[in-house]
Amino acid sequence: MVPDPTAATNAATAAPFGSCHVHLHDPSTIVQCGGQFWVFYTGHGIPSYHSKDLKTWEPGPRVFTSAPAWTDPVAPGDNFWAPDIIHQGNRYLLYYAVSKFGRNESAIGLASNPTLDPGDPQFHWTDEGLVVRSTATNDFNAIDPAVCREVDGELWLAFGSFWSGIKLIPLDAETGKAAVADSRMYSLAHNDSIEASYIYFHDHYYYLFVNWGLCCRGTNSTYEIRVGRSGKITGPYHDADGVDMMTDGGTLFLKSNGEFIGPGHAGIITENGADWFSCHFYDGTRRGMSTLAILPLQWRTNGWPQISDPK
């Protein structure tokens, strides 16, 4: 029997479901380097964890020991938000947000490194500066970057939080910065509480995962993950009922269940032929501590993703 494509995933019946037992918020896409998996997350200097098996995680170095000078006029301090990372050419490109909570005076920056292994002599993070910025006069918010690669190899950056929703811009594949030749900004999805986008290509479709609801409230958080898909990375994206994501469309994919509360910031990694879905959640057994989860991901016969039975 094929599950209803509009049904929410309810497999998370307890906090241990998918838990990696490490405290983080807004995890990046998980990437590999030198036999290790790496994930970056919100915090001073952009901290990291690494693992050999996706199960046992250890703290890694921070990206920055001090905030790049260009970030100070945007938001003083170095509490950078919601990083994302991709391996492009001979470098790792890490995008991160600079902002203050509840404001759209924000920016997305870029740092690069030839390796993520701190024991490698080539290990060195380079500040590549500003990628995109929003101000109080804009109708969008330049936070929650999500970098993605199109089938033809082109790079794109999705971002956005509240305001007019999720945006997408092309990137220069060589520099990782905004493409000068095409400065168009595409609108992908909108909802009164939308943010934390992520785009993943699977079997002829680009899938757009987004968060609805409110984060950062521990066990009172209302985050849930919605999804739509499109044949083109620039959209339009529609949910399983055919509703455009620009008009509140979005099929419910993952929600709170029991002590598994407020899942957010989607990511997908393939390992040994299997797909795994990463996110954070608020652990009801640990007073709402934000925690990394890695969940088994399957694709239904109709193409829509679902979290499979954790057993």
Could you list the active site residues? 26, 195
Three-class DSSP category at 219: helix
What is the SS3 assignment for 220?
A: helix
Q: Enumerate the β-bridge partners of residue 211.
A: 195, 225
**All residues at 6 or more sequence positions from 107 whose CB lies less than 8 Å from its CB, including other chains:** 71, 74, 75, 97, 98, 99, 130, 131, 132, 133, 134, 142
How far does CA 40 lie from the centroid of its chain? 10
Residue type at 10 in one-letter notation: N
Question: How far is the C-alpha of 80 from the C-alpha of 216, rounded, in Å?
Answer: 15
Which residues are within 8 A (CB) of 26 and not within 5 positions of it... i.e. 6 or more apart?
A: 41, 42, 81, 82, 83, 144, 196, 264, 265, 280
Show the tokens assigned to 202: 């699977």
Q: How many other β-carbons are positioned within 10 Å of the β-carbon of residue 208?
A: 29
Compute the distance between CA of residue 137 and CA of residue 141 in angstroms, rounded to an integer: 10
CA dihedral 52, 93, 158, 170 (to 10 degrees): -140
End-to-end CA distance of the chain: 19
State whether residue 122 is helix, strand or coil. Answer: coil
- Say how far apart CA 89 and CA 103 lie, in whole Å: 34
Could you tell me the two tokens for 307? 């979290």
Q: How far apart are CA 261 and CA 52, in angstroms?
A: 27
